[in-house]
Every structure is written in structure tokens, then in C-alpha cells.
Amino acid sequence: MRSSSSRLLPGATARCARRTIRALLVLAVTAGLATALPTTSPQARAAAAPTTTTTAPATTTTAGSTSDIAATPYMGWSSWSMQSSQYPGLNPNGNYSYLTEANVLKQTDALASKLKNYGYDYVNIDAGWWRDNNWTPEYDQYGRQTPDPARFPNGMKPVADYIHSKGLKAGIYLPVGLEKEAYGDGKVPIWNATGCTTADIVYPDLRTTNGWDSSYKLNFDNPCAQKYIDSQAQMLADWGYDFLKLDGVGPGSFKSGDNYNNVADVAAWHKAIAATGRPIHLELSWSLDINYAADWKQYSNGWRIDTDVECYCNTLVTWDNSVKVRWNDAPAWSDKAGPGGWNDLDSLDVGNGQMDGLTNAERQSYMTLWAINKSPLFTGDDLTKLDSYGLSLLTNQEVIAVDQSNSPVARPVTPMGDQQVWATKNPDGSYTVALFNLAGAPASVTADWASLGFKGNASVHDLWNHQDIGNYKDSITEALPAHGSRLFTIKPGGSKLATTSYEAESPDNTLTGGATVVGCAACSGHEKVGNLYLGGKLQFNDITVKKDGIYTINVAYISGDPRSVTVYSNSSNGSSLNFPSTGDWNTVDTVSIRLPLKAGSNTITFDSGSGYAPDIDKIDVPRSG
Amino acid sequence: MDIQHTESLDNRLSRRGFLALTAAAGAATALGGLPAFTASAAPLRPTENPMLSAAQAAKNQLWWQAPGSSASMIQQGLPVGNGRLGALTSNDPAGELLMITDDTLWTGGRNDTLQSDGQFPYSQDDFGTFTLLAQLTVDIPGHDLSSANDYRRTLDMAQGLVSASYEISGVTYQRQIFASRPDDVIVLHFSQQGAGSYTGTVSLTGTHGESTTADSAGPCASFGASLANGLKYGAAVTAYSSTGKVGLSGTSLSFNGCKDLTVVVSGGTNYLPDAAANFRDPSVDPEPLARSKALAAARQSVTALLHTHVADFLAAFGEFGLDLGTSSAAQRGLDTWGRVQARWQNNVPDPELEAAYVQFGRYLMVSGSRGSLPLNLQGLWLDGNAPAWMADYHTDINIEMNYWMADRAGLSDCFDAFADYCLAQLPSWTDITQRLFNTPTNRYRNSSGKIAGWTVAISTNPYGGGGWWWHPAGNAWLCLNLFEHYEYTQDRAYLDKVYPLIKGAVEFWEARLITTTVTDASGTSYEVLIADSDWSPEQGPLDAKGITYAQELVWNLFGHYLTATQVLGRDTDYSKTVDGLRERLYLPVVSPTTGWLEEWMTPDNLGDPQHRHLSPLIGLFPGDRIRPDNSTAKDILDGATNLLIARGMNSFGWANAWRSLCWARLKNAEKAYQLVVNNLKPSANGSNGTAVNLFDIYELSPGNGIFQIEANFGTSSAVIEMLVYSRPGHAELLPALPAAWAASGSVSGVGVRGGFVADFSWRNGKVTQATLKSVGGLGTTVYANGTSRQLSIRPGESVTLRNLG
């Protein structure tokens, strides 16, 4: 269970604004907040590690493995960012009114002419296609969403046909569950399901579900429920859609608890799509619960890891509102993505600085993070008004190639401060390395080759500027603007870094407070030191080096949520370092830290202080500084 | 101990002789009460290249790997200054920003209408505030930092140069910024190596709503205006290039395809340091003067401007050298901000960084204290028009601390701005004191009803005005600084110049002291003289009589006055009267209750034991009545030590610096050093400590850190005080050398009270060689390595001591 309470409020507020202005939903969202806040002890959280408790069909194939859907992160355009914005002129007929056939076709043309050649091929219609400008929904005689005639006077199929005529793919949107307004007193028949009505597909107590409590929860114990999903899927397939965003899905969408567990819905959609015979990419939204990552991966092709990126303000996004949080939130998911299913960081709104509400540096950092995380690259910008800088970002083929490559998702290789280095190793032995400065002022950022496991010279290629910038020995330091970034390919030309490993569980170490050695299947030596909290301390003794120096030390650790620890050598003051989440309590990841060591014997201490620290597996200390 | 006399070595290098010449020429324009910003003859230009070699320059350079933020200039901008005209510079490739100041650009005025409580108004309108002169931007849109590699900016402290370099698409771009005193302009020079060029705009704007106009002649952009107090000011900018096109774009200057670009800025006010003229020079019209100065400088090649500036600055920076030991290769590999952070996190001494911090303090003083007003609470630098405490002159520690460093660090000439300020203010201070101090509602008035001489308020401005509350003992503290400068320099002409200040303060106290009877421990009662009602800065009762702060300062004042009359042969009879008063002055005792030296002439503690001010320890530092030797009664020494312990080690900036100086005086090297280290803690989000640009930051409120320059100077003074303690007739080497610096080191050009400059080196905590040069002193006793030697020297001569102990 995630507990990033600091982020929940803006997103919750945004959600209220997003779907409805009714106070009822405000209450619902507030209730969701309350359930998301409490945290338990680390042991409890560790014990709660990922176990899927929902009904799971027998199949274990991943959603993507049955076709080439989402072999790489999808690319395209989505309507929601412009729908959600108060930017002048975008929504003249009320909130979310941007979504019309005319606008979708206009954006289709722009995508085809400007971005299609770079791999952007999805045109995705987001929420509201079945709602009028007062957000009143419309349904067919089978309780299925039906297009609003003002927005889509020709229905949805001609739109998909037009998109296809441009060589592009068409995407559409639905909320999870049976929307309350479609219930029709339980008497609405289900298409192609003799004897089934809406009363059969929900629970007798009409329990609600999804992120806004806007639907009744489907009861899959009754086969009629699957029939309803089948009917929706067949309708979309008949119209020719290639992509479905299923929204409000839980656990996630700021909800938890049985009523909001939509794993069965997602499984039903997976099955229904397969039954149509049409390949349809299934994307889940929003803030999906990472403890259910295996389910999302099994049944879908992508999952939104966070709340909406949009600010619901006078621009599409703002840096502070919801862009910057993704640096903290993405690392937990790094091991969850792969061909067939990807971590979705949400819309990439970098195409027009004025409308986006971002500086050029922020726009570059935004796309850099998305690319190294192998997030889908779909922009929410007005493609008819891309500025030259935005176009240069969106069409940078070297950066797009990072996103679409078969390298693993990048992770931070430094602790999570204002200055960060993220990296991944590419199949050819090179590294993709991103430098970030999240501070509000320029700062230098250094990538040490030692944190990548080698030393000596390496050639550095600058992806954003398409330039080989030379050979750098042992590290590279660059000045970055406020909220700025650099993205490099580093090709080692030196040698592997010789290190000495020190296991946390070694009897040579000193454990203080509650710190204890515990078993750990994924750890080297199958043990780690845990329970580092509220004064618990792990002190490595007799770390021996030959020369005085500042050493780059790799720390292998486990932390199911982001945690901080004060690290120091000998009697230094040290500093409190934020370790990114490893996603669960069974996965070991590594960050590197810089510590001064003196010739001879040293101690290195991990001190939880007054908080909760990660579990430590081992440290690797270079033999020379 | 060997003693070896040598002749004066002033002719060591021909360059030095030349530098002295240019410095003298530069200084001549600023003496004698002339306004700093005035038409002046063309400066004398060097005939040979004065630039230091790269290796020489590297000894006094700081460097950073990122530019400063335009939103945080006070913590990230690099300062330049010509003594009057200063700027913080951002050094961003795509947008160089200069926040430009003139230290005379002050709102407010004489402020001589007291409030109903008999105290001074203290706001931006009446008392006034230091404000920005202008903002200059050089926008180069093609030079986005996100596409620049190997960015580096450097502060060359000895040559007075800020520079930046970076590479874009294979072209290395460089810029240099300096504030020239001889040409009275700020110069920005942009160059490149390769096929690069500069295209963009130069914009000069005021910060008080002024309108900039541009003239294609030059081309030149400028503005001029008057403050509400009638002070006129103006600024101008011009630019030129050997290639490309420089023209106008609206009220900005534009440049297109320039392989090099030089931008020249001038500006100033019609301030005149003369109370009789109401501090205005009616003959100065700042805007046209700024234009003519900028255009005159622009007729010179940038090399001529650079060499003229460097020759002047090098001479002013002088030969003070400080080596506190060798840092590690790993430390040397970090940039300055990285070293500040590593110093704290790793808790490993970085002697080169610690020495550089002192040189940075000296750089600030050379840049901000020559030929104009003295350094205020922010020196010469601002990043907005609402500086804390008006960036004024605070007389209850801050301006005094600013100038503790000058003589110690071989910058005696920089002290002149302080002395000249006091002299220029004296007529107004005297008038206001004599008219208003005994206002019946002033709680600090003389209960005797008598009034004479002068004193000041806690805050002073450059218009003869005071702010906040009366500060009766402030005059004595200013005079302590003034007299110590004489002790360092033995400059009789200077003493003669400041004599009216000292005498006026004495006369004030003669009228103010009151008689009371005290009973000592033996039960003997006797009459003493004590200060009338006062506030021990800035805590405890508002109406305490005989506060230690005042007693110690007046004791110093009277003693210094006696020496001054003897040196100058003046007022012999009056000096006897004053000496008689001094004999009867009450001096503090130790509280039997707290064990501390009393602050309020009572055994009771009436304030915060950990208060930032060390007012009752003023006899330990900066005074030295209380000494860790047999000359001070043990109970007094213990009481002072106990009080210092109670004050704690965890204050901030200037308060830590003062504590460090006191511990140095008590020869507790490790405590003195720890307080220096505490001030080197990197400031994060406005917390107390050292900013990116090494400015000392005080956390005014969470997230809101402000610059307090006296901490930079006070901390630098503390480092020097750990190496040398001196008073006339006594020069003690390495009185408080911490382990971190003990292995080996040296200092040269350090001031010694009594009229000497010392150079010495040490190894393993022992002085290995020392040279004392007399700058006016005739003799002293040198103490080192547990031994001592009496020296007799003639002015200009040097004595070298070897085989010490």
C-alpha cells in the first residue's frame, strides 16, 4: 500500500474538478483519501508484500504476449490534457468540451503530418465522448455508452475510420464498472446475453466502485457480468478501435478495499477483447496499486503509476503540481515493466511551452524521465500549435529510441536529492545515463562511472544535442539549469571497477537498536539487515582501503517504499539520504553514495535516526578511490 | 632564537613597485572628502602586462560548476565591486544578470525628529535603506545551459575577476566581469575560441520605476532619476565589438554575430560625504556623468581596461598569504561548493578551503571598502530593495566586526572608508546628540542633565541620521575600532584626523557618567563612576545602570584617549582629567550566583544565557583587558570563560565568529576552530551557514536566509586571531593553532598591533621562522613556541627570527 499522502490532495482536488462538480464525489474522494493514508509498521508492510488476493484466472500469459501489442511503449496523442485545461479558448463550451469530432480529426491530421514518421501512431479519445457538455451521459438500449451527438455527430466509427485512413490507430475510453446512470432500475437488457439485465451484473446492495464511485461494482459470480463487458468490447471492436483506456481502476485511483478491487474487471476486459478477435491495447488508469502489479501485467498493456499529470489550471500542466512527483514515484515500478506492459507516466505535454506551462528545461527533463522509464509517449498538446522547441523534443529520434529500446527501465543510481543520476545498461554494454537537477536554481550534477561499475575513460554522447562531447575520465559533471536535465550514452573504454563486498549480515558488523539479521532470498548471502528504524543502526567495521580518498560505494538494499537513512564513515557528520523504493520487499536494487575513507580501517554506518531506513544487503567498496 | 635584521624589501619585484604607483594614482581621486562618483582624469594605465600567471592566479581562485540562479542572487551571485560600484553576477550562459549597487544610493535622511518615546524612527522612508542602482541583463538566447558542456565559473580573488567558460557545439565561450576602480565602470567581456559568435541584447533597467532611454551614439542606454529625498542617481551602458553589429533594439542594445563583445556599465549618485552640504553635490548630474564614463571607457581596448583594473586590484589585494596546510587530492577535485558540502558532511578538515574563506573575506573588503562609504550589513551587495535592517550600519557589533579584519588581514587601506565615514557623519552626530539626546522621553538621557560630544543610535545611515534606539556606548565602540587602526599602523597623521571623534566621545562620557557607591567582597565601600541607564545589546533590562558593556568600552575609550593625547601632544590637562575619571570607573565582577562575569552590575542573570551578543565579554574581545595570563585576576578570567561557555557553540554567523575570537583569546584552539567550521556549514534552504557563493547566511525565518557580511569578516578575523594575538608591545604567534592546521602552514602580511606586519611559518605546531617588519613600530616582544624575544626595529626594517624554541 502506497502512502504518499503529500501528493494525494492536489490529485484528489483535480479529480473532483475533472469528472463532476457534484459535492457527492468530493466526499467519495475524501473517503478514498482516508483509506490511503494510514501506514503500518515496516514489518507489517513487509508482511503485506505483494500477494494477489483476487480471483485470478488460470492463464498466466501476459496480456501482451499473445500479440505484438505494446511490444514497445505506445506513442501518440490523447485528448484529455486539452479537455482538462482552463487555457484560454480550449474549452469554450464548458469544462472538457474540447472533445469533438472536429478537434479529434484536426489533431489526427497534425499527428499524421508532424509526428507519425517518428512513431507516434495512436489517436486516443479520452473521457466524455458519451457525455454532453453538461457531462450528462448517454447510453444505448443495452446500457452501453453511446456517443454524444453534439460532440460526435457521425458516431464513433467514422472517426476511427478517418484515423485509420491516415495510417494511425484509434483509441477510446471507458470507466470501470457499470455506470450508475446505465443501470436503468436493473431492467436494461445486456446485449447478446439472453436473460441478462443490469440487475444481474451488479451486487444486490448496489455497492459502488471506481475512483469516483460513479459505477456499480460488477459481480462476476454471475456470468452476465462478463457478457456486459463482452458487449462493450464488441461494440468498440465493431467501431474499429485499437486501444482502450479503462479508468478509475482499483486498487488504485485513490481507492482500496474490496469494493474497489477491479482486478476481475480487468481480467474480464482482457478476456472480452480476446474474444472480439481484434487486437485492442488495454491501458489502465490511475495510480494503480503496485502490490497488484502482477495482475496489471497479466491482463493489460500498461498502467498509470501516478495521478493525472494535468494541473486543471490555466495551462496543461505545471512543474510543481504533478510533473515533479514522478521522479519519486517511478523507481518503485522499474522492475514491473517489459514488453507487453509498461509503466505509464501519463501525457507528455512538452510541445508548446506557453500552453504546457513549463520552461524549456522542464520540458526536456519531462521527456527525459518518460524516455528512460520507457513510459508510453503520448502527448496531450495541441499538435497544430507545436512550437519549434517542442517539435524538436518530440521528434528527437535518439531520445525516442531510448524509450523504444530493449534496455531495462532506468533507475536512480544516486539517492533521491535535488540532483539525481539515473542509468540503465544497454545490451551493447553502453549505459544510458540521465542527469537531473530538480532544484529551483542551476546546479552541477556528476555521474560517477564507479556507480555504473567501471572506471577510466568513457566516451560520452549527448542525445538531446546529437553530439559526441568527448571522453571523460571516471565521471562527468555538467551544469544544469533549474529543473534541467542531460541525457547521455556512455561507452566505457576503461576497465571494470574492482570492489570489495561487505555483507550487512557479517558478524564483524555492529548492530544497534532493533537492527537484526533476517533472511532474504534475493540478497547476496541470502541475508540482510532489517528493522533499521527509530534508532536502529548498522555499522560496517573494518572497511579497509589503501589510500585516503572519497569513495563511490554501491549500496545494495531493499525498500518497499522510499526511505531515508543517514550514512557516514568514521566520525563524519554524514547526510540523510533518500533511497528510492525497490518496488517491494523482495527486490534488491543499488544506489551509490560518496564517502570519505582513510587509508587503513574504517567504519561505515547506516543510522535510521528517528525514521525508518531501508534494509541493507551489502556494500561494494572500490579497492582504489 | 636567532634575530636577523634586514633592510626593507619593498623593491623585491619590479611589478610590485609599479603596482604601488598605480594604486597611489587610483587612490588620489578618492581622498579629501571628494564624492566618489565624479568626473575624473583618465587613469594611469600600466605599461606592462600585470596579469598573474595561471599558476599564480590559481592560488586565490574559487570555482563552481554551475551558474547562479537569477532568483537567488544573494546566495549564488558572484560579487564584484570597485569600492563604490558593485554587482552580483549570475554567469548564466544564456542570460548574464547583474544586480548593480552604488553604496551611496540610500533613501531616507537626517531622521532627526524623534518618536514620542525619544527614540528614532526606523523605516525605509525616514531612516532610509540601501537600495539597488540598476539591473543589467545580457541575453544570449542561443546559449542554453542545457546544451552547454564543461561549464565553469571562477572568482579570481587576487585579480578581481569573475569569469565563466563553457562549450557549445565545439566552441569554447568565455566571459570576464570586473568592476574597475581606475575607470569607474563595470566591464563584461565576452569572447570565444572557434567559429562561435554572440547574438542577443543588453538591457539596463532601474529598480524604482525609472525609464531607460537609448541613444544610437555609442550606442548607449541610460536612465536617471531622483529619490524622494532628492538624491540624484543614474546609470548607463554601452557595448562594442570588433566584429558583428552592435545597435539599438528599443531601449536595449542589440548585438548580432559578434565574435567578441564588450559591455561597459557606469552609474552613481550625487552623494557627497559632507554634512555641511547636506550630503549632496549639486554639481554632479549622475546620468550624463554615467554616460560619459561608460563611453570614455569604451574608447579603450578591453585589454587596456582589464590591465588597468588588474594592476589596481592586485595592489589593493596585497601580499597577504595564508597556508593552513595541504588538502587532499579528493578535496581539490571538488568545486568550491562541493568542498563546502564535503567539509561539513565528511567532517574532515579542508585547510585550503578554510584559508580560501579568509581570502574571500579579503576579496569582499577590497571590492567593497575603497574610496566611498564603508561596508554595510550586506557590504556592497543587494538582490532586492528591502534588505533586512535596511542593510544599514549597525553600531552594536556589526560594523565593528566588519572592520576587525582590515588591519589583521593586511588591508589597512580599506579601513579608511570606515574612518572617513565616521568623520563625515560627526558634525551631524554631534548636532543630533546635543539637541536631542536629553529629550525628556528618552529613557537613556543623561540624568545629570548635562550633554557634550556625540553618540549614535544602534543604526546609522549615510546622512548623519540614526535609526531605532539610542546607543550611548556606540560611540566608544566605534572609537575602539578607530584607535586599534592607529595601533596597527602607528600612523600619527591618521590619529590626528580621527582625534575629534575620540575626544567627542570622551566628552560625551564625561557628561554622562554618574557616581554610585559599591561594596566589595571585603565589605569596603567606595565611590565609582558608572554609565547611566542603558540596554546591554540586545537583551535584558532597558534601563540598567553600569552595564558591563558600557563600563568596558568607556574604560578602553579613556585609555586610548590618554595615549592619543600623548602621541599628538594635545589636550594634556584634559587628558589628566579623563585619566582621573578612568581610575574611578567601575569594572565588572563575577556573579556569585552564576559564576559568570556580570552583564548588568547585578549577580542575577536577567537575560538569555545563550544570547547571540557577547556584550559583557567585550573586555575579552575586541578589548583585551581580560587576558589568559597573570595580568588578569583569576576569578575574572574564570568568570569570563564561564560566561563564554554558557553562551554556547551553536549560534549563527557573526555570533559564532565573535565566540571563536573569544576562544582564540582564551587559547582554546579547538573550540575556536569548531566555531569557524560551524559557520562553514553549507546553508540549505536559507538555514544558517555558508551559501553557494560563500556569503554567510542567517536564517531570518524558515526558508528565508539573508546575507550578513560581518560573519564573513568576523570568521576570517577569527582564523587570523588563532594565528596571531597582538597588542602594543606584545606579539604572540600561534596562540590557538588547531590540530587541523598544525602540520604545516604559513601566513604573510598579517597585521600586528604596535606597528608591524608579520610573516611566519610553522611545522608540527611550532613556529619555524618569523619575520616582523615595522610599519611604524619601534619594538615589541615576540612570543612563540613557549619562549619570547624582545625586538627593537626601525620603521621600514625587518627582523627575522629562526631556530625558535
Quick one: pLDDT at residue A301? 98
B175 shares a domain with B86? yes
Query: Across the strands, what pairs with A568?
Result: A605
Residue with cell 517518428: A118
- Alpha-helical regions (H) of A353-406: 353-356, 360-372, 388-394, 397-404
Within 10 A of B99 (CB to CB), how many other CB atoms are there? 24
Q: Please give the CATH superfamily to which domain A5-53+71-378 belongs.
A: Aldolase class I (3.20.20.70)
- Work out the burial of residue B391: count CB atoms within 10 Å of its CB; fewer than 13 is exposed, 13-18 middle, 19 or more buried: buried
**B328 part of contact set with chain A, CB < 8 Å:** yes
How much is the average pLDDT of A373-377?
98
Same domain, yes or no: B17 and B95: no
Global confidence as pTM: 0.91
User: Which pLDDT value is given to residue A369?
Assistant: 98
Q: Which residues of A touch B (CB under 8 A)?
A: 360-361, 364, 440-444, 462, 464-465, 467, 469, 477-482, 484-486, 548-550, 568-569, 571-575, 595-596, 625
Alpha-carbon distance of B374 to A407, in angstroms, equals 62
Task: Provide the number of structural domains found in chain B.
Answer: 4
Q: Calculate how close chain A gets to B220, using CA atoms only, in Å.
A: 31
Q: Please provide the average confidence, as pLDDT, over all residues in chain B.
A: 95
Which of B 134-153 lie inside 8 A of A, CB atoms? 144-151
User: What is the average per-residue pLDDT within A284-293?
Assistant: 98
Give domain status of residue B569, yes or no. Answer: yes
Residue B4 pLDDT class (50, 70, 90 cuts):
low
Q: What is the extent of the structural domain holding B683?
A: 652-721
Of B14, B697, B680, B19, nearest to B318 (Cα)? Answer: B19
Distance CA B685, CA B696 (A): 13
What is the CATH T-level fold of the domain A499-622, as seen in this structure? Jelly Rolls (2.60.120)
3-state secondary structure of A202: strand
Model confidence pLDDT, tens digit, residues A224-236: 999 999 999 999 9
Average pLDDT over residues A320-337: 96
Contact at CB, B149 and A477, closer than 8 angstroms: no
ipTM of the prediction: 0.89
Q: Which residues of A touch B330 (CB under 8 A)?
A: 548-550, 596, 625
- Domain membership flag for residue B322: no
Task: List the single residue in B66, B71, B144 with the smallest CB-CB distance to A444.
Answer: B66
How far apart are alpha carbons A496 and A554 in whole angstroms? Answer: 14
Q: Report yes or no: A119 and A90 within 8 Å, Cβ to Cβ.
A: no
Mean pLDDT in residue range B207-221: 96
Residues from chain B that touch A548, judged by Cβ atoms under 8 A, are: 328, 330
pLDDT at A67: 58
Cβ–Cβ contact B330 with A under 8 A = yes
Claim to verify: residue B696 and residue B744 sit in the same structural domain: no
Residues B576 and B558 in one domain: yes
pLDDT of residue B646: 98
pLDDT at residue number A30: 35
Helix%, strand%, coil% for chain B, nearest 5: 35, 30, 40
State the pLDDT at residue A43: 39
Contact (Cβ atoms closer than 8 angstroms) between residue A125 and residue A173: yes
What confidence tens digit (pLDDT) does each residue in A584-604 have?
999 999 999 999 999 999 999
B766-774 and B724-727 strand pairing:
unpaired
A605 vs A565: CA distance, rounded Å: 10
pLDDT band at B2 (very low <50, low <70, confident <90, very high): low
Q: Which three cell numbers stand for residue B86?
A: 558593485
Sheet holding A75-78, edge to edge: A342-344, A302-304, A281-284, A243-247, A169-175, A122-124, A75-78, A377-379
pLDDT at A208 over 80: yes
Higher-confidence residue: A5 or B349? B349
Q: How large is the average pLDDT for residues A519-548?
A: 96
> CB–CB of B69 and A440 under 8 A?
yes
pLDDT of residue B521: 81
Distance from C-alpha of B122 to C-alpha of B394, rounded to nearest angstrom: 12
Q: Are residues B634 and B744 in the same domain?
A: no
Q: Is the pLDDT of residue B476 over 60?
A: yes
B623 plus B656 within the same structural domain: no
What pLDDT, on a 0 to 100 scale, did the predictor assign at position A45? 35
Nearest CA in chain B to A475: B333
Q: Which of B647, B677, B709 is the last residue of a domain?
A: B647
Please give the average per-residue pLDDT across B541-553, as a whole number.
97
Distance separating alpha carbons of residues B329 and A548, to the nearest angstrom: 9
Q: Domain A411-496: give its CATH code.
A: 2.60.40.1180
**Taking CA atoms, what residue in B is nearest to A486?**
B146
Q: Is the pLDDT of residue A140 over 90?
A: yes
Q: Do A572 and B328 touch (CB under 8 A)?
A: no
Question: Residues B14-42: what's their mean pLDDT?
Answer: 52
B370 is a domain residue: no
CATH at residue B189 = 2.70.98.50
Residue B329 to chain A, least CA–CA distance (Å): 8
The three three-digit cell numbers of residue B237, written as one number:
551602458
Listed in sequence order, the residues at least 6 apart from B802 whose beta carbon sits closer than 8 Å to its beta carbon are: B1, B2, B4, B768, B769
- Secondary structure class of B475 (helix, strand, coil): helix
**Residue A399 vs residues A463, B59, B124, B147: alpha-carbon distances, Å:** 6, 43, 53, 15
**Domain assignment present for B430:** no
The label of the residue with cell 525508518 reads A612
Grid coordinates representing B453 are 560630544
Q: Please tell me the distance from the alpha carbon of residue B408 to that of residue B717, in angstroms, as a whole number.
A: 7
* Same-domain pairing of B704 and B583: no
Q: What is the dihedral of CA A235, A238, A242, A243, to 10 degrees?
A: -10
pLDDT at A1 over 70: no
The residue type found at B588 is P
What mean pLDDT, rounded, does chain A reach?
90
Specify burial of residue A558 (Cβ count, 10 A radius: 0-12, 13-18, 19+). buried
Flag if A482 and B69 touch (Cβ within 8 Å).
Answer: yes
- For residue B345, the distance in angstroms to the closest alpha carbon of chain A comes to 5
Confidence of residue B36 (pLDDT cuts 50, 70, 90): confident
Claim to verify: residue B711 and residue B753 sit in the same structural domain = no
Note whether B157 and B210 are same-domain residues: yes
pLDDT of B729-768, one tens digit each?
999 999 999 999 999 999 999 999 999 999 999 999 999 9
Q: Is B69 on the interface with A (CB under 8 A)?
A: yes
Q: Estimate to the nearest angstrom the gap between the alpha carbon of B208 and the chain centroid.
A: 27
Please report, rounded to a whole number, the percentage of residues in chain B having pLDDT higher than 90: 93
Residue B46 lies in a domain: yes
pLDDT score of A127 = 98
Cβ of B96 under 8 Å from any chain A Cβ? no
Query: Best interface-test mutation with A: which of B345, B650, B678, B681 has the largest number of A CBs within 10 A?
Result: B345
Q: Which pLDDT band holds residue A8 (cuts at 50, 70, 90)?
A: very low
> pLDDT category, B28, cuts 50, 70, 90?
very low
- Residue B774 in any domain: the answer is yes
In a shared domain, residues B713 and B734: no
Q: Would you say residue B35 has pLDDT above 70?
A: no
A82-113 confidence digits (pLDDT tens): 999 999 999 999 999 999 999 999 999 999 99
Residue from A446, A545, A550, A594 to probe the interface with B (highest B Cβ count within 10 Å): A550
Whether B145 and A484 lie within 8 Å, measured CB to CB: yes
Same domain, B483 and B627: yes
Task: Return the residue in A471, A477, A552, A598 with the most chain B beta carbons within 10 A, the one to mutate for interface testing.
Answer: A477
Task: Please name the member of B67, B146, B148 whose beta carbon is closest to the beta carbon of A364.
Answer: B146
pLDDT at residue A494, as a whole number: 81
Domain for residue B355, yes or no?
no
> Would you call B66 and A443 a contact, using CB atoms and an 8 Å cutoff?
yes
Residues B606 and B536 placed together within one structural domain of the fold: yes
Q: Is residue B109 part of a domain?
A: yes
Band of pLDDT at residue B805, cut at 50, 70 and 90: confident
A441–B71 CB contact, under 8 Å: yes
**Rounded distance, CA A333 to CA A294, Å?**
11
> Per residue in A414-430, is it b (16+ CB within 10 Å) or e — as a string?
bbbbebbbbbbebeeeb
- Single-letter residue type at B170: G
Distance CA B717, CA B712 (A): 9
Between chains, do A442 and B68 touch, taking CB under 8 Å as contact?
Answer: yes
Contacts of A441 in chain B (CB under 8 A): 68-69, 71-72, 76
Strand order in the sheet with B185-193: B61-64, B149-156, B161-168, B171-180, B185-193, B261-269, B232-240, B220-226, B213-215
Q: What is the CATH number of the domain that holds B524?
A: 1.50.10.10
Judged by CB atoms closer than 8 Å, whether chains meet at A467 and B64 is answered as no
B346-355: pLDDT as tens digits: 999 999 999 9
Cell readout for A521 is: 532470498
pLDDT score of A625? 65
Q: Where are the domains of chain A?
A: 5-53+71-378, 411-496, 499-622
In our burial notation (b when 16+ CB lie closer than 10 A, e otherwise), range A89-119 reads ebbeeebbbbbbbebbbebbebbbebbbeeb
CB-based contact B345 A444, cutoff 8 Å: no
Minimum CA–CA partner of B73 in chain A: A441
